[in-house]
Amino acid sequence: MAVAEVESTVRAEGGRRLFSVQAAIELGTLVVLAVIYNVVRAGGGPSHKAAAMAHAHDIVRLEGWVFTHVERGLNHWLVGVTVLAVAACYFYALMHYVMTPVVLILSRKRGGWLYWRGYWALVLACAFALVVYANYPVAPPRLVPDIDSIDVMRNFSAWGWWGSAASAPRGLGDATNQYAAMPSLHFGWSLWCGIQMWNFGSKKWRIAAVAYPTLQAFVVISTANHFGLDVVAGGVCTLSAYGVVTVIGRVLGKTGPRAAVAAQRESITASR
């Protein structure tokens, strides 16, 4: 029996009720992690800000032509197209809050290894990002005064609830750490959604799996909320998390050849 067939069988047999004690525990775990995430991410002070600005300048120098001609070019172009700029602002402010939990719920409904791999990959990706936030603060392009990036969300704040602190509601900007741009978890989470949706299998889900992270990458760069390297780092966090979980899954026999053998034995036993 092929590995793909085994995982399909596991999904079919492993669908879970969305509302149960186990679901509450899983959700509670994510809530606790979210609190830790926000506490760590909210840290900072004058020295933190200074380091974030210095690191941002390092990234500009490292990106060179790509920042000057691609990222900043997209940023300046977007400001001149009001309809797209406002749409990008709403996309940045809302989509990660909508798509990530929706895809997680749909993954849980399918159950099996698809869900558990995604669940723990999401947890690990956030953990990896927290380590970087705590040790390598980076200012977003929109807050670096001498690189000619335009704060698109601030320019179009009259169209929404946000002010000068990205997607944070007006008056709550001080409650967020704006100097934690590296890695971009807006992109990291969108890539996570893409990987999960790709494994849902149908053509429409696979189109969405490619479109969503692609649009998110465009939005976070063109609104000057992230550098291109922030996007790359967000992708590395997510892919590394999947890699770690997949290796552990193979060791534990949840996927791969060992899982195929176990499923085949169960199938033979059930048919007797």
Least confident window among 7-11, 53-57, 155-159: 7-11
What's the pLDDT at 265? Answer: 56
| CA 210 from centre of chain | 14
| Domains of the chain: total | 1
Euclidean distance between CA atoms 65 and 125, whole angstroms: 29
For residue 180, the SS3 value is strand
Euclidean distance between CA atoms 252 and 164, whole angstroms: 48
Judge whether 122 and 37 are in contact, CB under 8 Å.
no
- For the stretch 173-186, pLDDT in tens is 444 678 889 999 99
Which residue is associated with the tokens 């690990």?
Answer: 124
What is the token pair recorded at 194? 């893409």
What's the pLDDT at 3? Answer: 44
What's the pLDDT at 201? Answer: 87
Q: How many CB atoms lie within 10 A of CB 101?
A: 12
Euclidean distance between CA atoms 115 and 223, whole angstroms: 32
Half-sphere exposure in the Cβ direction for 100 (13 Å, CA)? 20
Euclidean distance between CA atoms 202 and 183, whole angstroms: 30
What's the pLDDT at 254? Answer: 75
Quickly state the pLDDT bin for 26 (edges 50, 70, 90): confident
Q: Domain range spanning residue 245?
A: 3-271
- As a residue count, the chain comes to 272
Closest CA to 79 of 19, 166, 154, 6: 154
Quickly state the pLDDT bin for 258 (edges 50, 70, 90): low
Closest CA to 178 of 190, 191, 168, 192: 168
* Mean pLDDT calculated for residue range 140-168: 82
Judge whether 33 and 130 are in contact, CB under 8 Å.
no
What's the pLDDT at 261? Answer: 54
